[in-house]
Structure 1
Amino acid sequence: MHTTTGAFFDLARTVTVHARRTPEVTAVRGYDGTYTFEELDQRADAIAAELIRRGIGAETAVGAHLDRSRDLVAALVGIWRAGAVFVVLDPAHPPTRLAAIAADSGVAAVVSRHAPFLDDRIARIDPATAAASEPIIPTGPQSPESLAYIVYTSGTTGEPKGVGITYGNVANLLDGVRTLAPAEGEDGGNVLAPSFDGWLWSTLIPLMNGRGVVLADPRSGDGNVPLLNGEVSFVTATPSLLAANEPPAPKAGLRTVVSAGEACAPDLAARWAAGRRFINAYGPTETTICATWADSEAGDDPTTIGHPLPNYRVQVLDERLRPVPAGQVGELFVAGAGVGRGYHNRPGATASRFLPDPSGNSERMYRTGDLVRHRADGALEFFGRIDDQLKIRGFRVEPAEIEAAARALPGVRAAAAFAVPGPVGFVLSLAVVPQEEESHEPEGVRDALRAKLPEHLVPSQVMFLDDIPRTVAGKTDQAELVRLSRTAASPAFHARLTTPTQELVAQVWSEALDISVESADADFFELGGHSLIATQVVALLRKRIGLRLTMRQLFANRTVEALAAELDKMGEAQRPGA
């Protein structure tokens, strides 16, 4: 498969090439063990053979319902070796959402150990028992135009929206980012969730260059920390995750850090760029993960989103698709080899966002909805969105999807989702207007939404109002909602802190949440806490109290009083004679 720069990539067979050259080199390391390149090649062959025996190949979707394990990587390679379409079915997401994705993508088979949400007519393939006993030769994709994967993002209609990316798109991306590959003998790290397309980027860049990929342990709240502390030489993380951790010393082994998924603050970029290559990457899912970047190694300013990758072109246009004058803000349009096929089963949405390039070269361009301007040095500066779309911890969040799920709950008349600036990125919040005489609790609403939505779409804060505030133009007043949420997070009544452990917990929460926590009944999530801040809290408490607190314990003990009691109980259990 040739890219626009003439490089040759055969994504279905590259692992085999490395398996023959360096069979004993570790290709994947996860919490469930390792695969050498030879073992990964054999496991991928077995999965591909199972698919081919069932007549599954090009343009046929295959789900991968596996956690962040070595078998998920084997499933990816096996599905691509059969020439089929990779669709992540993240086990961390609610079964109803997974069933909707499986139905929309039309998966013909699912690689999984256990997937009770599936229709009985869909074939199941256990990655551990798949066998290539018959002499079946994997075919790989028939054309660069064949679909390689469909990734589902938050949708404005209230349902997840699938974005289709081709094998040619992926090959051209990998060609454009070859310099990110770790050096021989070094590994890349993957700290991202499988439902985030950055998981593919973090897996493929090392793997396709004959290097190993180390997957963060999903069972541990601090599973990302070793990978950010120098265990690997290359890692990609969201700014929220970087902000929740301290960068290692320049000589620790972490040579390249890529920030992606949301805007990166200048002070955060400066912290992580010291002594290493730092890249601020930008790219919608629709343009194959990354379209532009600011690379410190090339002298770029990492507070910008830099310049387009070699196989991409960008234009800054006005509402009539005319180029804006130099230095003025306009909407960013991306063209070139990375522009995906479009939205799966949504021709209308595809036509509205994937437009003919006005330059007349018969290519398409993607309308990003992002506001930017070209600086004098040619770098792009990001200024925000033209619509209500949010980015929470790197994930695309459409407020309409959360609002639709909230309005469907019994006793809810209206709802508005919004983002509140926090110490580690933005905090997703929800204002709910109950029907008359209906009573709700914040955690009850969160639990009900958690049954429908993935965790990144579940608001950390829920507040109840008589009406949704509106601007004079009749739109939701976001600024007023932010003000009200901050008022709601500071209760008038405080249960006094009565023990040294309560005071320690309140102090750590105050530092991590960047607010004053003075009440024993203060609730971590109602104060704006989320998983990344929780990681920081757990690390700080471990350091200061010397106990192996877990994320699970923090989530189960949401108030200062409850968490302090849990820590006291842990301390008692460790005393001699207990």
Structure 2
Amino acid sequence: MILPSVLDPFFAIARSDPDRPAVVDNGVTVGYGQLARWAGAVADLVAVRGTAGAPPVAVHVHHSVRDIAAVLGVLAAGRGYVPVADGPEGHADRALRALGCRELVATAETGRLPAVDRVLRPHWGPSRAPLREAGQPVRAQDPAYVLFTSGSTGAPRAAAVPHRALHAVLPHLIRRYGAGPGTVALNFHRLDGDTSLEEILPALLTGGLVVLDEDGEADLDRVLTDNEVTLVNLPVDYWHLYTGHLLDTGRALPRSLETVVIGGEAVRADMLERWRRLGADDVVLLNTYGSTETALVTHSAVLAGPGAPADFPDGVPIGRPLPSVRQAVAPGADDPDGPGELLVAGPQLATGYVDDPVRTAARFTGTGPDDTDRWYRTGDLVTEGADGALVFHGRIDHQVKIRGHRVDLLDVEEAVGRLPGVAAVAAAAHTKGDHTVLLAFVVPTPGASGRGTAQESAAALRERLSAAVPGPLVPDRIVAVPALLHTRTGKVDRAATRDRYL
């Protein structure tokens, strides 16, 4: 099946209103016309869509407007891209060799580049080149992008996401995010993760503005306020810490904010309770769920603000599926009436893991044209609430046996997170002799350890927890730490946190 380019609305806006601001990159404004010309220059350099199975084009990303233009250009050429960022020496070279990449778009004048056959260097200065009418039509099944999974639940794998997936999901995200000409979206995530596409494409396909600011993570309040941001997408852990910062300082959310999107991991009830204490009743808090293998977002739920239920008696939901998504819950072998593994199907599925048929077969089941009969096994355990929304109950690989009891790390984190003085928590299993024990790493709230050392306060937390929850949920040790470690996509990395602080 041949599809039009997903970028055609962007090029239409660039032609009709070329001076309209498209991106503000650390104070420098780039209009739709200039951004479209840069994207066109990249597309002209990239070999246009060829035979099926053509390798992706690498984009060397630095979190700048050039990254955005490079990705738009590759997509406009009907090709797929793979982002590569600076990292350990040789890592990017090995990744690109494994994918067979032969072309790379350089987005900076200096710096070491991975070894490829062709380094493409577009002219990044002002341009009056003719604007494209549209992007190159694409085959629905061809890759739009290839991303490496975070590796937080095993070895990273290169998932290829087809063009049809973007066509399926973007119209629904535009509606759910309320994207339009008045949208000002913060590009918080770097382009080596797919959440960045949720921030960039809904805005640029509807005439909105994308903001990049190098202080976005360190000084979010200022960045949101100064740029009058209306839409922000945050990892759950960062959102939770930001909520705590606002409560501790007595500050309110910036007045411009209309929608706060969160995702990447489970939202605990205590996190939602703290958010509601901000009194931001006019701001939509939208929880989203998805994975690299299922293209951006498959489920969403309004947790607070306009349109949100008063409470969630079945637990904080990950939501209902988008119209393009089909879902099934496979009953658990041990408890058919308890949580089961979530399976999803539809055009949003990745085509699989590049050159890894064994892992592809293990996670993608069934066959069929356009993925109608293919299902992706998420590895996530869910139940369906009375209102039809799914409630997350942890991952299959986050369950551990403690003294003969099956314990989910999320249950431990929820119990610890409710204790006063805890800003953030990560639970992990640890082998101690012949036994597996639980550990919890907590980031104290400011001033929480004012009457003693951090570890004395951690010991007091464990004592309080022992009086409140069953024994198997009580960690063998609670360790106070300055910060939790995260994967590159913003998820809490439990194993890395454990290894850092033990």
Larger Rg: 1
Contact 1:33/1:70, CA 8 A, preserved across alignment: no
Give the whole-Å Cα distance in 1 for the aligned partners of 2:267 and 2:344. Answer: 20
Number of aligned pairs? 427
- The AA in structure 1 aligned to 2:202 is I
Give the whole-Å Cα distance in 2 for the aligned partners of 1:128 and 1:513. Answer: 49
Alignment match of 2:483 (pick from 530, 533, 544): 530
Deviation at 1:223, TM superposition (A): 4.3
Deviation at 1:178, TM superposition (A): 2.2
Distance 1:516 1:57, change over 3 A: farther
Tell me the equivalent position of 2:179: 182
Deviates more, 1:109-118 or 1:362-371: 109-118
**2:333 equivalent to 1:329:** no
Contact 1:61/1:85, CA 8 A, preserved across alignment: yes
Tell me the equivalent position of 2:72: 77
**2:169 equivalent to 1:173:** yes
**2:46 equivalent to 1:51:** yes
Contact 2:37/2:127, CA 8 A, preserved across alignment: no
Contact 1:110/1:124, CA 8 A, preserved across alignment: yes
Distance 1:201 1:470, change over 3 A: farther
TM-score where L is the length of structure 2? 0.73
How high is the sequence identity, in percent, across the aligned residues? 26
List, as ranges, runs of 4+ consecutive aligned residues in structure 1 with deviation greater than 6 Å.
53-58, 129-138, 418-422, 428-431, 519-522
Deviation at 1:249, TM superposition (A): 4.3
Contact 1:281/1:290, CA 8 A, preserved across alignment: yes
- The AA in structure 2 aligned to 1:95 is E
Contact 1:68/1:194, CA 8 A, preserved across alignment: yes
Give the whole-Å Cα distance in 1 for the aligned partners of 2:49 and 2:374. Answer: 35
Tell me the equivalent position of 1:263: 266
Contact 2:180/2:207, CA 8 A, preserved across alignment: no
- The AA in structure 2 aligned to 1:281 is T
Alignment match of 2:85 (pick from 47, 72, 90): 90
Alignment match of 2:147 (pick from 148, 151, 172): 151
Deviation at 1:357, TM superposition (A): 7.8
TM-score where L is the length of structure 1? 0.64
Deviation at 1:21, TM superposition (A): 2.1
Give the whole-Å Cα distance in 1 for the aligned partners of 2:136 and 2:233. Answer: 28
Tell me the equivalent position of 2:203: 206
Tell me the equivalent position of 1:286: 293
Give the whole-Å Cα distance in 1 for the aligned partners of 2:120 and 2:192. Answer: 20
Distance 1:164 1:268, change over 3 A: same
Matched position secondary structure for 1:201? helix
Deviation at 1:127, TM superposition (A): 5.8
Deviation at 1:31, TM superposition (A): 2.0
Tell me the equivalent position of 1:314: 327
Contact 2:340/2:381, CA 8 A, preserved across alignment: yes
- The AA in structure 1 aligned to 2:181 is E
- The AA in structure 1 aligned to 2:194 is D
Deviation at 1:380, TM superposition (A): 0.7
- The AA in structure 2 aligned to 1:125 is R
Tell me the equivalent position of 2:373: 363
Tell me the equivalent position of 2:93: 99
Give the whole-Å Cα distance in 2 for the aligned partners of 1:287 and 1:117. Answer: 30
Q: Note the 1:161-560 alignment, pairs <5 A.
A: 161-179=157-175, 180-217=177-214, 222-229=218-225, 231-246=228-243, 249=252, 252-270=255-273, 271=275, 274-296=281-303, 297-300=306-309, 303-318=316-331, 328-356=338-366, 362-388=372-398, 423-427=422-426, 468-471=432-435, 477-479=436-438, 481-482=439-440, 511-512=445-446, 515=449, 527-530=480-483
Distance 1:11 1:28, change over 3 A: same
Tell me the equivalent position of 2:138: 142
Contact 1:287/1:339, CA 8 A, preserved across alignment: yes
Contact 2:57/2:82, CA 8 A, preserved across alignment: yes
Distance 1:211 1:315, change over 3 A: same
- The AA in structure 2 aligned to 1:333 is L
- The AA in structure 2 aligned to 1:308 is P
Tell me the equivalent position of 1:450: none
> What are the ranges of 5 or more consecutive residues in structure 1 without an aligned counterpart?
3-7, 391-417, 432-466, 472-476, 487-508, 534-578
Distance 1:126 1:311, change over 3 A: same
Give the whole-Å Cα distance in 1 for the aligned partners of 2:416 and 2:137. Answer: 44
Q: How big is each residue's C-alpha offset from its partner over 1:70-111, in whole Å with a ceiling of 9 and x where there is no partner? A: 1111011011011111111123x3233322322222222112
Contact 2:162/2:351, CA 8 A, preserved across alignment: yes
Give the whole-Å Cα distance in 1 for the aligned partners of 2:194 and 2:203. Answer: 15
Deviation at 1:165, TM superposition (A): 0.7
Distance 1:351 1:169, change over 3 A: same
- The AA in structure 2 aligned to 1:311 is S
Deviation at 1:192, TM superposition (A): 1.7
Contact 1:80/1:141, CA 8 A, preserved across alignment: no
Matched position secondary structure for 2:145? strand
Distance 1:157 1:202, change over 3 A: closer
Distance 1:520 1:173, change over 3 A: closer
Matched position secondary structure for 1:194? coil
Distance 1:428 1:265, change over 3 A: closer
Matched position secondary structure for 1:151? strand
- The AA in structure 2 aligned to 1:265 is R
Contact 2:104/2:116, CA 8 A, preserved across alignment: no
Give the whole-Å Cα distance in 1 for the aligned partners of 2:399 and 2:265. Answer: 12
- The AA in structure 1 aligned to 2:207 is G
Tell me the equivalent position of 2:462: none
Contact 1:56/1:84, CA 8 A, preserved across alignment: no
